[in-house]
Amino acid sequence: MLISLTLKGRALGAEGPGEGIVLALSLALNGLVLGSILLLFSLGLTLIYGVGRIVNFAHGALFSAGALAGAWIASSGHSFWIALVAAPLLIGAVGLVLDWAVLARIRDRPMVDSLLLTFGLALLITGVLYQMGGRNLTMLQPPQGLRGTLTLGTLSLPTYRIFVSALAVAAVAALLFFLKNSNWGLRIRAANDDPEMGACLGIDRESLMHSVVALGAALAALAGVAAAPIFTAYATVGDKILILAFMTVILGGLGSLRGAVVAAYVVGMIIVFGEGYLGGQVALMLLFGMMMAMLIRWPRGFFGEGRTE
């Protein structure tokens, strides 16, 4: 999945004296695209952990469900734009039901219980997707107006990838603005920063967690639909990006939204440039090495805002 980003990035370059610069710029674009997808995906993980102290292994399956839902909606005759809106709403509702019916039952139990439960939920969702035809690759075509390229000198930039980056930035900016300027956002930040004090102030943690899990699922689905024209859609497409998302959350600091924003693009750049110049396995080794160094020396992430559990 990730290698395809780099190979397409190489194809953007032109032969000539400036080939190295063009390749670097192409890889930088692909790094921004991957970072943007990781950003949308990782913010849901960060919010769910920050408010509920749940490490959600089912998040990758929700990414896959969003990608497939978007592809199926589009294949039924609806436009890409309807799929981009409808799939996150649908998967967000699924997340709400899962939290109300399952996750709420273990809210105050040890973290290992949530790890095992969400891992089981991931297997369950993946199995359902397989039964619905998700074992086959499903293509989601971007709208006609986003299928071309934007040429800047010798560099050709795929229009759709620019759109994905802009969509992620706009969605995250809107979310952060809402978290800062709404009563719901104030309760989220209070529960994230000091859950005990939030409970003393009368914050209803249960209803808050229902909304947070639903929002996290919707963000995962939005990332899945946006990524589907690049990665295609199938039942396990979210598994690899889940690993990168956990690295993003760790590097940014557990529960730190600002850290997750920076870490998403750091991870995207390391993966794409590492694959472009050193090979995919070396890129992952570099990323794992960086993550281990952060856990040892800076366990609270880039801005020192994360938690150590």
Per residue in 230-279, pLDDT (tens digit) is: 999 999 999 989 999 999 998 988 878 888 899 999 999 999 988 888 87
Token pair belonging to 236: 């396990």
Rounded-to-5 percentages of helix, strand, coil across the chain: 75, 5, 20
In a domain, 238, yes or no: yes
pLDDT at position 282 is: 83
| pLDDT score, position 158 | 85
What pLDDT does residue 196 have? Answer: 65
For residues 290 and 294, give the distance between their C-alpha atoms in angstroms, rounded to a whole number. 6
User: What is the residue type of 168?
Assistant: A
pTM, two decimals, is 0.88
- In this structure, is residue 302 part of a structural domain? no
Identify the CATH number of the domain in which residue 175 sits. Answer: 1.10.3470
User: Is residue 303, in this structure, part of any structural domain at all?
Assistant: no
306 in any annotated domain: no
Average pLDDT per block of 10 residues along the chain, 309 residues long? 43 50 83 92 88 88 96 93 96 95 86 90 95 90 87 77 92 90 85 67 80 95 94 92 91 85 92 83 86 86 72
> How high is the pLDDT of residue 153?
67
The terminus-to-terminus CA distance of the chain in angstroms comes to: 32
Domain assignment present for residue 272? The answer is yes
Number of domains into which the chain is organized: 1
Extended beta strands in the chain, E state: 149-152, 155-158
Give 88's strand partners.
Answer: none
Q: Is residue 305 part of a domain?
A: no
| 307 domain-assigned | no
Residue 36 sits in which domain range? 2-297
Whole-number pLDDT of residue 185: 85
